């Protein structure tokens, strides 16, 4: 059995990045800024993990003339509120297999945790909107946002979560959707299942335990892209245990 399952949020739990992009653009308008992040630009900007870091990168590299007139922290706080409002309205759903695997882990008493770049309020709102109720208590540890100083692809958020779980990386499984996320999890020594998302589908996932279209559901198997798992149809605790053994 894996000692714990550690999930990324953005792109892995749900396809959130279009909503983040929308929230950024609405915030720019509200602040009177003539900035607009279209999809091709946002794809490039996503190389920088973290909203504040992404904004700072954009100002430096795309609109240096505006550097003196923007407060990145204020802009990001407003974007976070706007994003939370949209998530609370129910515009997102969980990707296939997420709720099923969480339920299975809970039944088998396998701890589940979160390791994400986005801020804690965003995680809470997303969990509330998609899983409802007191679900946040299901998670043994949540590593989010500025709880660590170096964001993905640095391994810090995964190390933070492993410390609090009291687990070794090699005994757990991480779930990620991006190159940055895979690098962070692997940097902490965690075998990682990658389910690429809308903005990350062309990235390099070398070194992943498995690369799959999603975690699969009964009657809707995942598509296998790379790594282990080409004979299976759904990611379950049993398949994860077997994959870890085969890889050991």
Shortest separation between residue 73's beta carbon and ligand XBP, angstroms: 12
CB 222 within 8 A of CB 214: yes
What residues between 43 and 62 interact with ligand XBP by CB under 6 A? 49-51
- Our CB check for Mg ion shows the closer of 27 and 178 to be 178
User: Of these, 2, 11, 111, 155, which contacts Mg ion (CB under 5 A)?
Assistant: 11
What residues between 156 and 215 interact with Mg ion by CB under 5 A? 177-178, 181
- Our CB check for ligand XBP shows the closer of 10 and 232 to be 10
| CA–CA–CA angle 83, 5, 49 (5° rounding) | 40
- Interface with ligand XBP, residue 143, by CB under 6 A: no
Shortest separation between residue 233's beta carbon and ligand XBP, angstroms: 26
E strand or H helix that includes residue 7: strand 5-7
| CA–CA–CA angle 17, 20, 25 (5° rounding) | 125
Tokens at 185, concatenated: 């999890």
Whether 231 is a known active-site residue: answer no
Q: For CA atoms 7, 215, 92, 150, give the dihedral sign.
A: positive
- Interface with Mg ion, residue 10, by CB under 5 A: yes
Whether 171 is a known active-site residue: answer no
The per-residue b/e assignment along 54-63, b for 16 or more CB within 10 angstroms, e otherwise, is bbbebbeeee
Contact set with ligand XBP (CB under 6 A):
8-11, 17, 20, 49-51, 80, 116-119, 122, 152, 178, 180-181
Active-site residue set: 8, 10
């Amino acid at each position: 059995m894996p000692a714990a399952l550690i999930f990324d949020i953005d792109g892995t739990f749900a396809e959130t990045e279009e909503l983040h992009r929308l929230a950024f653009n609405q915030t720019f308008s509200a602040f009177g800024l003539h900035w607009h992040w279209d999809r091709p630009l946002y794809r490039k900007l996503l190389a920088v993990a973290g909203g504040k870091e992404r904004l700072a990168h954009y100002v430096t590299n795309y609109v240096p003339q505006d550097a003196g007139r923007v407060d990145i922290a204020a802009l990001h706080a407003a974007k976070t509120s706007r994003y939370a409002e949209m998530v609370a309205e129910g515009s997102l759903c969980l990707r296939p297999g997420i709720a099923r695997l969480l339920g299975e882990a809970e039944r088998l008493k396998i701890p589940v945790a979160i390791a994400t770049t986005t801020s804690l309020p965003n995680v809470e709102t997303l969990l509330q909107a998609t899983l409802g109720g007191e679900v946040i208590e299901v998670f043994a540890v949540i590593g989010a946002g500025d709880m660590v100083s170096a964001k993905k692809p640095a391994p810090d958020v995964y190390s933070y979560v492993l410390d609090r779980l009291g687990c070794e990386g090699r005994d757990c499984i991480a779930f990620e959707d991006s190159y940055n996320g895979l690098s962070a999890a692997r940097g902490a020594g965690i075998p990682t299942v990658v389910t690429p998302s809308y903005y990350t589908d062309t990235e390099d996932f070398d070194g992943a335990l498995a690369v799959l279209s999603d975690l699969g559901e009964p009657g809707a198997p995942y598509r296998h892209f790379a790594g282990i798992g080409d004979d299976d149809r759904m990611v379950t605790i049993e398949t994860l245990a077997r994959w870890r053994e085969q890889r050991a």
